[in-house]
Amino acid sequence: MKVIALSDVQQFSPEKMKKNNLFETSRFFCDIYCFEPGQEQKGHIHGEQDKVYIVLEGQGTFHVGTDRQILGPGQGTMAPAGEEHGVKNHTGERLKVLVFVAPNP
């Protein structure tokens, strides 16, 4: 059994949003995305994958389709396959987001 400590996999990068993988199979993956202030994941589409975002720390502006909303700790949203989605850390603090994608692209 693989056991992880979230504190061991929350790395940031000064250049761009950092994806830190927690678990991955041929059908699924789970990452922690770490955003420094001002960093973003540009809008994009997964044709066959659903994505779930759960905010662990900080606040971010999330967009799914034409909807945009600020989410904070304990809040989450889902981007169904085919919907454009992305995240921006619009604050002066760090943002950590737990991300689930299935099936694995």
Q: pLDDT digit string (tens) for 6-16? A: 989 999 999 99
63 within a domain of the structure (yes/no)? yes
Q: Tell me which residue range forms the domain holding 76.
A: 17-102
Each residue of 24-60: b (16+ CB within 10 Å) or e? Answer: eeeeebbbbbbbbeebbbeeeebeebebebbbbebbb
Over residues 69-104, the pLDDT tens digits come to 999 999 999 999 999 999 999 999 999 999 999 987
Q: Say if 10 falls within a structural domain.
A: no
The CATH number for 97's domain is 2.60.120.10
Q: Is 5 inside a domain boundary?
A: no
Rounded-to-integer distance, Cα 94 and Cα 35, Å? 6
Residue 105 has pLDDT above 80, yes or no: no
Chain-wide mean pLDDT for the chain? 95
Tokens linked to 77: 């949203």
Token pair, residue 96, equals: 């950590």
Domain presence at residue 23: yes
Quick check: 59 and 41 in contact, CB under 8 A? no
Domain count for the chain: 1
Kindly report the pTM of this predicted structure.
Answer: 0.94
